[in-house]
Structure 1
Amino acid sequence: MPFDSLGLAPALVQAATDSGYAAPTAIQVAAIPAILQGRDLRGCAQTGSGKTAAFSLPLLQRLAGDAAQAPRRVRALVLVPTRELAAQVGESMRGLAQHLDARLKIVVAFGGVSINPQMMSLRGGADVVVATPGRLLDLVDHNALRLDAVSMLVLDEADRLFDLGFAEELGRVLALLPQRRQNLLFSATFPPAIQALADGMLRDPAIVDVQGAPGTEPAIVQRVIEVDAGRRTQLLRHLLKQHEGEWDRVLVFVATQHAAQTVAEKLYRNGIYAVPFHGDIAQGTRSDILFQFKQSRWDVVVATDLAARGIDIAQLPVVINYDLPRSPTDYIHRIGRTGRAGERGLAISFVSAATEAHFRLIEKRQGLSLPRERIEGFEPTEAAPPRVVDTSGNGGVKGKRPSKKDKLRAAAAKARGGD
């Protein structure tokens, strides 16, 4: 199906072609007509499937068709959870808008950098603002913009924005918006609890889920390598040297900022051009790292989950989970950094005896059953830690408060004792 069959203007069809889309992806085919009709929408699709263009193209067309106002009033707001994603979405939207006759002003705003240039860019208003929630509220507090004319709201990586870390800020932003508006929610994952929250703000929405559509899932080969926790860095170095001519860039995920620094430094000392990437690094430096990584100036970026959301690195061949993610949802977002836009990719996870049970949980939640591999010279020797049994009477090993099942078991035991 060509783009011009979706109801897009010729200028936007050309923009999509210039952006590298030979044909619309499944999420674009399903979402674009519904958005052009003015419907609310909840869209779920794998990372790298073209979600940004799926909302940007119809959004830009609807804005370009409305009469321009002076000064400009913010008519479309795109909220994202990270600074890197804000910059990426803004860059993509500007590229798609360049062929339009109407000159739309798109402003990107995020924290970690001075607010003054962003306030200056909002002088005279803006048609579209792409922002993280915290910095958007800062700009509102500085009277740099108003949100009472917003007619289209996009939540990109919506599951993260509805999470507890952003819930309060998101609530404050929603309170500043007009009640009548078009709401567009996009993410690669919508866990049931988040889905319920999301649906609460949608009115008669179009529900688009192309996760299982043929041909839409990235061709990502997933491997699991068993290794003792203390030998992961040596194994990582071994794999990088072994595939030196094959893997031109590798994204390695770790659990903490300290681990990002430590692993990157050890690799660098062994002749591998590796750099850490985490939240304590200045925003300007982080932007430089990503730009240089895309240009293949770094061999390896060792990152926290800061890089798991929305970072688009074309033709990234490999993602390695040095540490496993805390949740099955994060696993999907991590491995989705490779295998984007139909490219082939490889995702490797290191699993030790202590983390085997956690990876089995990830497999269960994602409907996976992956074979375990062992690399010669790095065979694991550690045994799984003994299961901790709670003898305090509180029941369960997950926390101090007994679960519903624990209470039922206790009641049953008490009833048996009285017989």
Structure 2
Amino acid sequence: MPFKVLGLSDPLVRGILATGYKAPTEIQSQVIPAALEGKDIIGCAQTGTGKTAAFVLPILNRLTNDHSGKSKHVRSLILTPTRELAVQIEQCINGYGRYLHMRTLAIYGGVSMPNQLTALRRGVDIVVATPGRLLDHINRRSIDLSRVEMFVLDEADRMFDMGFINDVRKIITRIPANRQTLLFSATIPQEVKTLAAGIQHNAKIIQVGQQRSPIETITQHIYPVHREQKMELLLHMLQNGGMYSVLIFSRTKHGADRISHRLEKSAIKSVAIHSGRTQGQRQRALQGFKAGKFQVMVATDIAARGIDVEGISHVINFDVPAFAEDYIHRIGRTGRATAIGDAITFVSRDEEKHLRQIEKFIGHKFKMEKCPGFVSTMPEESERAPKPAHKFFNPGKKRRPSRNRRR
């Protein structure tokens, strides 16, 4: 199905094709026609399904059809939890809308406030923002949201997990009640349903794929190990496990740098991205990883939220995430679409409580695995729970890239 069939304007379709996209994904095919009809939507889809374009394209189409070019009022607001995602969405808008002359501004913390103030004074059509910095502008009265026609809440479940939901509610009180609202979330827990009921009207629910975690194409491996042995275990796996494209998660930016430097010393091409890097540095690192210049990219949870790389063979949790939802987002970076992938987690004794939270969240117990030469720090599986149906990971067995993996 070509994009034109969805009812999008000719200049917008030209912009889409110029970015290299030929046909809409399933989530786009279902969301875009309903959004163009003005319906409120709850979209549930996993990472990597083309969700961003599903809301960006209807916004651009609506604003193009009624765009005087003179108004300084914000007409569309997109809320997203991290600045990396805000930048990514802004880039998508500018790419798809290259022939539309829309004015877009990404508003997030950690950068100069005066530059954002200048852009707002000149006037913007679309604002992509993180909740905290947008509230700063609202409190300064430097932004007027009274003319917003379309509102998008992206990653609603993540807003709850990161503690942003109260800020989100405050922001919603500043936009018109007769707006169109699109809400997207990887999962739809009860709190998201309750939120949606309060901010939408007769919303159309669109779900692509099963709402489940973890993704079926990912094989999970849990290795209990002393904290001081984690680095050696990581090196052992990278040097002997046939891993060709690896994303490693560290809980802190200092940890990410330390891991990357240690890998480089061992002749493993690696790069780290985190909030301490400039946007330019993060973009260069990401492009190098995509191009295969680096075998490994080490990232913090915040920095990784904007990562969209096809063909990641392995995700390694050097540290167990403190929140179960972060675990799902982390491992979702591999095993996309029909490709297969491995997710490996190192667990030290002090992280056991976080592992238990993840088990409770996904609804089953993990099988503890051992690597010869590395001491297990947790009870044997027979002492904990019945054995689940998990595949075993053989560090010595080389995995071939899936033929179905998208390139």
1:321 partnered with 2:320:
no
What is aligned with 1:337? 333
Partner deviation per Cα, 1:283-315 (whole Å, 9 max, x = no partner): 565455445444444443322221343422343
User: Structure 1 residues 283 and 142 mapped into 2: Cα distance closer, same or farther (>3 Å)?
Assistant: farther
- Alpha carbons 1:219, 1:343 under 8 Å: kept: no
Relative to structure 1, is the Cα distance of residues 229 and 255 closer, same or farther in structure 2, using a 3 angstrom cutoff? farther
Q: Is the 8 A contact 1:112 1:283 kept in 2?
A: no
Correspondence for 1:350: 346
Separation in 2, partners of 1:187, 1:363: 21
Quick one: structure 1 residues 95 and 342, their matched pair in 2 at CA, closer, same or farther if it must change by over 3 Å?
Answer: farther
Report the counterpart of residue 250 of structure 1 in structure 2: 246
> Structure 2 vs 1, CA of residues 17 and 341 (structure 1 numbering), >3 Å: closer, same or farther?
farther
- Farther off after superposition, 49-58 or 338-347: 338-347
Structure 1 letter corresponding to 2:371: I
Q: Deviations over 1:25-69 (max 9, x none)?
A: 221122111111111111111101110011111111111111324
Q: Is the 8 A contact 2:324 2:354 kept in 1?
A: no
The question of 1:224 aligning with 2:239 is answered: no
Q: 2:174 aligns with which of 173, 176, 180?
A: 176
Instruction: Say which one has the larger Rg.
Output: 1
In the alignment, structure 1 segments of 5+ residues that lack a partner are: 386-419
The residue aligned with 1:307 is: 303
Q: List alignment gaps of at least 5 residues for structure 2.
A: 381-407
- Given that 1:156 and 1:186 are in contact with CA atoms closer than 8 Å, whether structure 2 keeps it comes out as yes
Which has the larger displacement, 53-62 or 328-337?
328-337
- Cα-Cα RMSD: 3.1
Give CA deviations for 1:118-151 in whole Å, capped at 9, x if unaligned.
Answer: 2333343111111112222333445543111111
Query: Partner residue of 1:415?
Result: none
Query: How far 1:346 sits from its partner (Å)?
Result: 3.3
Secondary structure of residue in 2 paired with 1:179: coil
Separation in 1 of the partners of 2:259 and 2:158?
Answer: 27
Matched length? 378
Shift of the 25–213 alpha-carbon distance from structure 1 to 2, 3 Å rule, reads farther
Distance 1:229 1:257 in 2: 21
User: What SS does structure 1 have at the residue aligned with 2:122?
Assistant: coil
**Change over 3 Å in CA distance of 1:370–1:28 after alignment to 2:** farther
Query: Distance in 2 between the 1:16 and 1:213 partners?
Result: 28
Q: What secondary structure, in the 3-state scheme, does the structure 2 residue paired with 1:122 have? A: helix
Q: Distance in 2 between matches of 1:118 and 1:298?
A: 34
Secondary structure, aligned partner of 1:165: coil
Using a 3 Å threshold, how does the CA distance of structure 1 residues 271 and 169 change in structure 2: closer, same or farther? Answer: same
**Per the alignment, in what secondary structure is the counterpart of residue 42 of structure 2?**
strand
Matches within 5 A, 1:265-284: 265-281=261-277
Deviation at 1:152, TM superposition (A): 0.5
CA distance in 2: counterparts of 1:142 and 1:328, whole angstroms: 36
In the superposition, the TM-score normalised over structure 1's length comes to 0.79
Superposed displacement of residue 349, structure 1: 2.4
Offset, 1:192: 1.9
- State the secondary structure of the residue aligned to 1:70: coil
Q: Distance in 1 between matches of 2:220 and 2:286?
A: 25
1:77 is displaced (CA, Å) by 0.7
Q: Is the contact made by 2:223 and 2:344 (CA closer than 8 Å) also made in structure 1?
A: no
Matching residue of 1:408: none
Q: Which moved more, 1:232-241 or 1:288-297?
A: 288-297
Check 1:372–1:203 CA distance in 2 against 1; reply closer, same or farther (3 A cut).
same
Matched AA of 2:61? Q
**Offset at residue 353 of structure 1 (A):** 6.5
Q: Secondary structure at the match of 1:146?
A: coil
- Distance in 2 separating the partners of 1:368 and 1:28: 32
Residue deviations 1:199-241 (CA, integer Å, cap 9, x gap): 3211110111223189xx9774323042413322112112222
